[in-house]
Structure 1
Amino acid sequence: MFQVLSGIWALLIGIVLIMLGNGLHFTLIGLRGGIEGFSSSELAIVTSGYFIGFLSGARLTPRLIRRVGHVRVFAALGSFMSAGLIAFPLLTEPWAWTLLRILVGFCMSGIYVTAESWLNDAATNETRGKVLSAYMIAQTLGIIGAQGLLAMGDAQTAGLFIVASILVSISFAPILLSASAAPVTEVSRPMPLRDLFKGSPLGTVGIFLLGAAYATQSGMGAVFGTQIGLSAPQVALFVAMLFAGALLLQYPVGWLSDRMDRRKLIFGAALLGAASCLVGWLTGGGLWLLMAAAFFAGGVTTPLYALFLAYTNDYLSTEDMPAASGGLVLTFGVGAILGPLAAGWAMQQFDPFAFWLVLGGIFGAIALYALYRMTRRPTVPVSETESYLGVLPSTSAVAVESAGAWASEQAEAKDESEA
């Protein structure tokens, strides 16, 4: 593992710094929006703006890279993102923040595509799984670390926005100085939704619902914490627990994934998420029960994303996997746009604890649909399933396709060894 990290450590440091800046701004939006008097519905629209930009960036960035190259695209998107972050406190209006969030989402998506292309190019067939795992850990640690920075500043001033901008700006130095010759960036055309659903109904519906859950957690979690009266350090801890759970539960879920019917595991993980949301709703603001609910609700979200990818690949040929990965990323993005809107509307109409009801309802829907699909299709033998590899919902189609290629390679190697 140390040998693998020696070749990509600078890229990983850059990723950690980017995630520190991006994770800081994500939570800061909820805190500062509450201070400025934005309603839940307005902050939901601001949150969805990020995912609108992210989807657009995922489609357009590969074209820009082919036209002007990795380095220019990376530098340009980094400059625009840094400028966007520092502009938030200059014009504190919901419409302005929505436009800025679209810009930041677009830039962040393009940065992912570019950085993941370099990481993928630096990996070999033997090291690809370890490289992707290190990348996912670096991303998650950056998001968690950002919450610690939030607790050290004052959301009422422009200081934390400036810190986020600085972190993003300096993150490009280790990446650009260490990157090798620009790799070829090829992202497959997404599989049409009809074909994707025909191949894997549970994977398609599940990942759409999961997109709504992930965006609700990451975008509206800070809004919920602010509205129930948590202090800034407590809001930061609440958001950190959402991602800490994902970091710690990824391995046990992945271990089980390669040893049992994945539909049962999807059902169990979604049921745990729904039960955690029920606890969060019933706490009435009790701090430590609230943190435990966040740990498990957030903890099952990222593993479920990787589970849906692996489960979908179980029913596809190797040739169809890249296109299916693109289709799943697109489907997830659409869900991510709609989820915060539903949560924001519910929190506006009822009370902030409707955050848990919406989130729990999404997990419950996933569990029920998984249970239904168990009655419609026979189980794929464990020996014939693709390998599981943890992939974060925030990654681009480049990392998802790379993970799919790695899983396919592992399955082929396993077949050859058995033969």
Structure 2
Amino acid sequence: MFLVLKQTWALMLGVLLLMLGNGLQGTLLGVRGSLEHIDSGTMGFIMAGYFVGFLGGSKLTPIMLQRVGHVRVFAALGSLVSAAFILYAAVVDPIAWWLLRVLVGFCFSGIYVVAESWLNHSASNSSRGQALSLYLIVQMAGMVLGQLLLNVADPGGYNLFVLITVLVSISFAPMLLSSSSSAPLQTAARPMPLKELIRTSPLACVGILLLGGVYSVLYAMSPVYATERGLSIAQTSYFITAIFLGAMVFQFPIGWLSDRIDRRILIIGVTAVGAASSLFGLYVGENFIILLVIAVLLGGAANPTYSLLVAYANDYLEQDQMAAAAGGLLFINGFGAMTGPILVGYAMTNLGIEWYFITLFLLLSCISLYGIYRISQRAHLITDESAPYLPLSARSSGLATSFALEAAEESHLEELEDSEEVFESRLYDNEVLERMDEGTDNTGTDQPKT
């Protein structure tokens, strides 16, 4: 891991600073909107803009990269993000904020493509899996720490918007000035047709669609909910931090279980825990400590479920289909994420802020119930034949998934080669022993009688 860090420190430092700024901007905008007396329905519309831009950027960024090169695109998108962040405070208008959110989502989609291309170029075949794991850890750590920066200054002023602008601006320096800036352009696989993907794994498709709504509610509307409920700025930052901590902590234990039991049972169980946590939040969430525990459980249910559903879909695909399927699932997730904030924002405005938890309960319950239904429709796949669980994030581009699949395939091939070498070595040892035994028998037979 230290060797990987030595090879990619510039990229990891840049990603950390980038995620500090991006992690803070979503929470800051949600809090600032409430301070500006923008209702939850309008804020849901504004927050959905990021996912609209992200989805559009995933389609248009590869075209731009082919025309002008990744370094120029990277620098241009970074400049636009910095400008958008400072304009949030300068132009307090719902339409302007929505357009800026679309722009930010579009730009981050392209930034992730270039950053992940550099990551793949910097890592060797033997270290690609470790590099991807480190990248996801740094990405999540930046999001977690970014929430705590909300306490640095007053969200009603300019200082925090200046801070996120500075963080994003300086994040590009180590990446653009590093020796690996000549990394070749990488492109994600063309997404699998949706009809074929749905036919292959209905549970993965339906689950990913609903999970997109869960993601957007948790990561976009939580600041709005916290402010509308009357939490202080510090409490709001701790609440959002707890969601990201749960997402980070529960990823690997659930992944360990995923490779050992029927993934559908795990999907049902994890989403059921998330639904139960939402129900607890609805009735006993008045206590702030309990609310933090619920936030950890919700984050721990939502984030690993994405990886579980991708892994479950891969169980029924050939190796050369997996990257294309991951691109299709990312598109489905993005579509669900676009609609989530709009629906929950409307519900919170017209029916009450408790619909934040009610929406999460309904979405997670639907995934769990549909998983129970699918168990009755398809036999369990033998665990030894399952595809490996990969810790993935819907916030990355499709390239990260492709690289994770490549790393998993290379690791599997290395294991096969090692097992073949061990088998051949044992076979050779057995042959030698047999020859020695034969030689001993012959020697004993040829000895003359005295």
Please, what TM-score do these two structures have when normalized by structure 2?
0.91
Give the CA deviation at 1:158: 1.2
Partner of 1:207: 208
- SS of 1:65's equivalent in the other structure is helix
Partner of 2:428: none
Partner of 2:269: 268
Cα distance change, pair 202–411 in 1 and its aligned pair in 2 (3 A): farther
Q: Tell me whether 1:148 sits opposite 2:157 in the alignment.
A: no
- SS of 1:111's equivalent in the other structure is helix
- SS of 2:116's equivalent in the other structure is helix
Partner of 2:247: 246
Deviation per residue, 1:57-108 (Å, 9 max, x gap): 1111111111111110000000000000000011111111000000011011
Cα distance change, pair 320–339 in 1 and its aligned pair in 2 (3 A): same
Partner of 1:124: 124
* Aligned 8 A contact 1:278 1:360 in 2: yes
In the TM superposition, 1:320-399 aligns within 5 A as 320-399=321-400
Q: Tell me whether 1:66 sits opposite 2:66 in the alignment.
A: yes
CA distance in 2, matches of 1:117, 1:300: 29
Give the CA deviation at 1:371: 1.0
* Aligned 8 A contact 1:388 1:407 in 2: no
Cα distance change, pair 162–18 in 1 and its aligned pair in 2 (3 A): same
Letter in 2 for 1:352: I
Letter in 2 for 1:373: R
Give the CA deviation at 1:190: 1.1
Q: Tell me whether 1:193 sits opposite 2:182 in the alignment.
A: no
* Aligned 8 A contact 1:41 1:341 in 2: yes
CA distance in 1, matches of 2:315, 2:267: 14
CA distance in 1, matches of 2:339, 2:128: 33
CA distance in 1, matches of 2:27, 2:40: 14
Letter in 1 for 2:131: V
Letter in 2 for 1:225: A
Deviation per residue, 1:252-285 (Å, 9 max, x gap): 0011011111111111110111111111111252
Partner of 2:173: 173
Higher alpha-carbon deviation: 213-222 or 368-377:
368-377
CA distance in 1, matches of 2:127, 2:387: 17
Deviation per residue, 1:214-271 (Å, 9 max, x gap): 0110000000000000001100000000000011111100110111111111111101
CA distance in 2, matches of 1:409, 1:327: 23
Q: Tell me whether 1:4 sits opposite 2:26 in the alignment.
A: no
CA distance in 1, matches of 2:106, 2:116: 16
* Aligned 8 A contact 1:386 1:411 in 2: no
Identity %: 46
CA distance in 1, matches of 2:189, 2:128: 19
Letter in 2 for 1:59: K
Cα distance change, pair 325–347 in 1 and its aligned pair in 2 (3 A): same
* Aligned 8 A contact 1:254 1:389 in 2: yes
CA distance in 1, matches of 2:410, 2:183: 24
CA distance in 1, matches of 2:409, 2:210: 26
Letter in 2 for 1:140: M
CA distance in 2, matches of 1:212, 1:417: 43
Give the CA deviation at 1:182: 2.4
- SS of 1:293's equivalent in the other structure is helix
Letter in 2 for 1:310: A
Partner of 1:318: 319
- SS of 2:38's equivalent in the other structure is coil
Q: Tell me whether 1:138 sits opposite 2:144 in the alignment.
A: no
* Structure 1: gaps of 5 or more residues: none
- SS of 2:391's equivalent in the other structure is coil
* Structure 2: gaps of 5 or more residues: 421-450
CA distance in 2, matches of 1:155, 1:254: 37
* Aligned 8 A contact 2:152 2:160 in 1: no
Deviation per residue, 1:302-321 (Å, 9 max, x gap): 11111111111111011211
CA distance in 1, matches of 2:188, 2:331: 12
* Aligned 8 A contact 2:147 2:238 in 1: yes
Partner of 1:32: 32
CA distance in 2, matches of 1:369, 1:206: 8
- Runs of 4+ in structure 1 deviating by more than 6 angstroms, as ranges, are none
* Matched residues, number: 419
CA RMSD in angstroms, aligned pairs only: 1.2
CA distance in 2, matches of 1:375, 1:84: 49
Deviation per residue, 1:126-178 (Å, 9 max, x gap): 21211111011101110111111111210110111110010000000111112
* Aligned 8 A contact 2:18 2:171 in 1: yes
Give the CA deviation at 1:410: 3.6
CA distance in 2, matches of 1:406, 1:43: 40
* Aligned 8 A contact 1:228 1:285 in 2: no
Deviation per residue, 1:186-237 (Å, 9 max, x gap): 2222111111101111111111111110011000000000000000110000
CA distance in 2, matches of 1:125, 1:307: 25
* Aligned 8 A contact 1:313 1:404 in 2: no
Give the CA deviation at 1:349: 1.6
* Aligned 8 A contact 1:206 1:366 in 2: yes
- Look at both structures and tell me which one has the larger radius of gyration over its CA atoms: 2
